[in-house]
Every structure is written in structure tokens, then in C-alpha cells.
Amino acid sequence: MEQYIKPPVEVRYREELEALKANDTASRPENWQMSPRAVRTFILGSAKPVLYNGKEYTIEKKYFGNDALVEVAFDGVGVKKLMLKVAGAHITKL
């Protein structure tokens, strides 16, 4: 068994990650193990428990900041374009 001073995220949250992967039905980018939606849920948490191997896992929030920053980083390109259009409509051009 490996010993860590502080285990990496993959070790500390192994069961949560396995539960999210097993319940992930959204499309995944090439070389990703989970969809952007599942990654967002892992980082921002979920009020609804995830059922995996007969056990419920409550995904706890791991990032305590502006949720929109995580959404922009992980949601699809369409969301980013929409946010840019909205922002562009409220910015005056020089």
C-alpha cells in the first residue's frame, strides 16, 4: 500500500470518481475519462446523491469560489460562445 503525506485527488476521492464515471451518460471529449458535465459535478458537488454498487455517494463541493468560472472551463463550446455574446452586448467598443 502506498503512503502519502497528502494523497492525490484520484486517491482521496476514488469512490466518488468511480460513481460519477459509472453514471456518466454524456459524451466525453477524446482521451477524457469523464464528460465535462461529470467533471463539473465532481468539482462543484451535487445535492442529489449518486447511486453506485448499491451505495449512495454525496458529491461534496471541492471548489469554493465563483461557480461560473468552473462552468466556463468545462462546459461545451456553445456555452462559451453564448457567454461571449452576452458579454459583448454589454461592452462598449472603443
Q: Give the integer Cα–Cα distance in Å for 8 and 36.
A: 20
| Average pLDDT along the chain | 79
pLDDT digits 0-9 by tens, 22-54: 999 988 888 888 888 888 889 889 999 999 999
d(CA 34, CA 41): 11
